[in-house]
A and B are shown apart, each in its own frame.
Chain A
Amino acid sequence: MQENSRPTDAVETLLSAYNPAPGTRDEMLDASGAIKPLWRALIERLATASNTEITESFARGDQYLRDAGVFFRDLDTETAAEREWPLSHVPVLIDDAEWQMLSAGLIERANLLEQVIADLYGPQTLISAGHLPASLVAGNPYWLRPLVGVAPGSGHYLDFIAFEIGRGPDGRWWILSDRTESPAGAGFAIENRVATTRIYNQHFGRENVHRLAGFFRTYRDRLHNLRQESDSRIAVLTPGPQASTHFEDAYIARYLGMMLLQGQDLTTRNGQLMVRTVAGLRPISVLWRKVFSAATDPLELDETSGIGTSGLLNSIRQGSTTLVNALGVGVVESRAMLAFLPRINRALTGKPLTIPNIATWWCGQENQRELAISRGQELVFGAAQSNRLPFDEKDATIEGSHFSHPDYDSLGAWIEAEGADIVGQESIALSTSPAFVDGQLVPRPMNIRVFLARTEDGWKVMPGGHARIGHSQTPTVMSMRQGGRVADVWIVADKPVIEDTMLAKPGMPMSRPQRGNLPSRASENLYWLGRYVERAEGLIRMIRAYHIRLTEGMGREAPLTLHMKWHFKEFGVDETQSVPVALHNALGSAVKSASQVRDRFSVDGWVSLTELTQSARQLGSDLEPGYETARAMGMLLRQLAGFSGLIRENMYRFTGWRFLSIGRAIERAADMSTALAHYADASAPEGALELAVELGDSAMSHRRRYSVATNRETVIDLLALDPMNPRSVMYQLDEILEHIRFLPGDDAAGRMTPLNREILQQHTALAVRTPDTVDTAILNEVRASMNRLSTLLSSAHL
């Protein structure tokens, strides 16, 4: 910090462009334009930091997000390309005392929603008593008829929900929408918090900011208590890697220590929900559902869903499965519900809602229709059954004061004809909060997604949230897609708060997860990840060796380079391409497999793999053959070694790691025996044996082991038979044998499975050989055996 500038001058400079619009409320400045005490410390810190300090600290936050693999993906674009996570580097600050009051109101609303949902799927007295029009519910696409009369396994319909809230000009908070279906954003809130913490690591007021971990821990404890058997596990049910929220699902699963499952991982047996694991079907009773209700069971719900589990509803009906939240809870999300919830609350409790929701009129009911038409000039009109925010641009909303419609010449005529599909809503000028734009603080409209979880002690509100910051000062344009940003939310107490982490408290019983629960889909992807990474490494070595030969003056038509072409052909490698398509394919397949199991290995591992793929892509097709290409391949090889090292050193030795290792070993054994079949064959040209040693990365070992020059027997000995050389075929067979021993699902009587038999036969066959008896036919047989192993492994475990 610069000692010579007095804070007040610096603050004035920082705020020179900070001019909240008249008539809106600002979070940071009070009505007189003075900074509120809550914000003073943060603003003074920003004001007194040099430009370099600010740039560096913001970059720290952004770097964290990149390293963590947090990207924003737009579901609606064809390409679904990821872009940088749009973090607004200034958090939104809210006073703790105010937050406590707000929380009480949110809990009241959570209980109201629970009651409404329970009624709509139960006795429907709200309808018979006239508090809710029957036609509104009947036309709601989120009210799922097959679930009517089905009680939720947890005893509650809602366990984890969110509210979008915003503050109006008079300082009151408003509910903008209710998110009950499967609210996203809680994981991103954690990531925003970690990134923002990196930025303000020296900010002295931070010890007063409430931590988020306790909220998640108590929620996780409740999910554990919902299990029917204490040894069964809990899973997050995700739509899969193609969904925009998949990163968050994987993140949450890892953060809370839950399995991450997709619909295809599940099936049912006699009404019991089962996970397809490497050890066969295993029961599971609790799922945190992140899949849209209608997509969860194609048999009884949306028959076009490709991500569901047929028979899921039957297992719920039989009481063996608890989904959190229950299916069909999205019924209360629709905008038109906002027109009735205040009245329902009054009918149920005799009191008005503590926090109002945005004033809404449903035009499908006569008295509301008339009110909406009479106030038409002040309202915004949109789709009644939509669950989007009032100002979301994806809905064709019509401002009453600027009415235009292709089929109707007046607002009244439109509403009269299509009223059941229309709501009118008051528009709120949202409060503004500071954002850092081009080196200056400017006011930007904001709203916050707040999360609530049911715990053993009732609803808890997450002390923080996911704030969305508009990209311009107009409060109606808020969509992130349109260039808006997101921000952390700090709930600031007037004294230091208790530190909290996800780790178990001392004295709590420790539970150790059992082995063998790995979903088959996950193990399959890990197996192929192992294979593709090893395939890529082999290809890179081959390409490098080829271009080294070119550098050394060997032409493309020399006997050895021509011979290499035949080897390349087996892997689909076109030697005229400096970076062959086959390499991109192998790396692409590795990333694709890895993306399915991002919850199973570290963020560093994921990032290093994607960086490697990007490096390969950036090399381009115009890379100069010879030296340039050989050098580029060397670089890729080192990056790949980085990835392999991260996996080898850091991956927990669970069943999944064994599948990954088996994949690597099978690929390496197959690749090495193929290379030897080509280069150690009697017909191979001069220099082929040295090439084999080079591909096997064993030149140094060869020099050390043998005092003689390279000959066929030393090469076969070192690369095929030597159990101490981690590149040899024998070493791979040892590895496979060892890993398969640990896989679940062995024959109960101790009889050998076909998989055991195949590897043991091949292992023995090679172990008894001497170098002079290993000919090309034997090597080809090893390769064929690896293919058989792969098939047997698939049918037994994957």
Chain B
Amino acid sequence: MRYDIRLSIDYTYASPVGSGRHLLRLMPQDTPEQRRVSGLLTVEPPPRERTDRLDFFGNDVVEVVHTAPHSSILFTVNARVERVGPLTATTDEFPMANMRAELAQFQSLDALSPHHFLAGSTRIKPLPVWREYARSVVGAGLTVRAAVEAVGLALHRDMTFDSGMTTVDTLPEDAFARRVGVCQDYTQIMIGCLRALGIPAGYVSGFLRTEPPPGKKRLEGADAMHAWVCAWCGPEEGWVEYDPTNAAFVLTDHISIGRGRDYSDVSPVRGMLKTTGKTVTSQAVDVLPLTS
């Protein structure tokens, strides 16, 4: 599936800021499952310095520095990707009980190693609440893939999608206590639960196609940047992606930007701003399938 993606994020400050430094993770990934045909990230006003590189997890990062006073800043991405979808076959044969022994054999810390995604991370702490909930919704003797789906379905059933109740800085345990949130909250809660079960789980940020295929329901979260879960389902199946906000395994409707342990590893715009007064942000996303 081919997509044209347009993203713009606009910050407007109440009073001009003298300088700024931002770390941007906005560009769709270029991987075997998703080939980037073209991609352009522009910043307005033009930054004084710009560095493009890959981060530890292989995500595209752009660091931009502004030193002249400015009262607004606009980040724009134009990209075309070929979304192939999962490349590994769905075997669904790896039992949960084998996970610990299997991981002990996995002697690598490269970007795709499941080890990064098991311990607590900046925003997702190992808490008893994850273990209690996860154990209550996952039966014994399941495969890892089945356990992932069981947690995802349970969260989709128990949580209410509401974009007004949480912010980017809401901790997953707080959102979970109220059983409300948006894709970021769903994703981080699910990661906490999977890790409590001993399943390596990470955070994927990206986009959803804006309009569904004919005859299908429009997906939740399509008008903004989206997030979902990746979980390691054993050596054969490897990483599997699951979208708890829409209660579905990820196929070709999702376009990923980056992967990390939680939101703070892949936050789209990260940076310190010396500003007083209120900052207004607007975000626009268009993900259009190419019919040709």
Contact = CB atoms under 8 A, between A and B. Distances in A.
Given A128-B107, A365-B104, A148 B119 contact: no
A420 B119 CA distance: 9
B104 A366 contact: yes
Contacts of A302: 122
B113 interface: yes
Interface in A316-370: 317, 365-366
B32 to A, nearest CB: 22
Interface stretch (B49-57, B176-184, B215-223): B49-57
Interface in B74-115: 103-104, 106-109, 113, 115
A137 B115 CA distance: 9
Interface string B199-219: 000000000000000000000
Interface stretch (B145-153, B236-244, B264-272, B275-283): B264-272
B65 interface: yes
B275 to A, nearest CB: 14
Given A145-B56, A299-B21, A303-B264, A134 B271 contact: no
Contacts of B23: 299-300
B116 interface: yes
Interface residues of B, number: 27
Given A146-B56, A311-B21, A314-B51, A138 B118 contact: yes
B33 interface: no
Most buried by B among A130, A134, A146, A311: A134
Nearest to B265: A145
Contacts of B116: 138, 145
B49 A303 contact: no
B113 A138 contact: yes
A124 interface: yes
Given A135-B118, A139-B118, A299 B109 contact: no
Contacts of A317: 53
Interface in A278-336: 298-300, 302-303, 310-311, 314, 317
A271 B21 CA distance: 12
Contacts of A270: 49
B63 interface: yes
B115 A148 contact: no
Q: Which of B51, B65, B107, B113 has the most CB of A within 10 A?
A: B107
Interface string B18-56: 000101000000000000000000000000010101011
B108 A299 contact: no
A267 B116 CA distance: 31
A310 B118 contact: no
A357 to B, nearest CB: 24
B34 to A, nearest CB: 22
A146 B55 contact: yes
B63 A130 contact: no
A134 B21 contact: no
Interface in A234-290: 268-271
Given A146-B56, A148-B56, A137 B107 contact: no
A310 B108 CA distance: 31
Nearest to B103: A135
A746 to B, nearest CB: 22
Interface of B: 21, 23, 49, 51, 53, 55-57, 63, 65, 103-104, 106-109, 113, 115-116, 118-120, 122, 264, 270-272
28 contacts: A124-B108, A128-B108, A133-B104, A134-B106, A134-B107, A134-B115, A135-B104, A135-B115, A135-B119, A138-B109, A138-B115, A138-B116, A138-B118, A139-B120, A145-B56, A145-B57, A145-B116, A270-B49, A271-B51, A299-B23, A299-B270, A299-B271, A299-B272, A300-B23, A310-B21, A311-B21, A311-B63, A311-B65
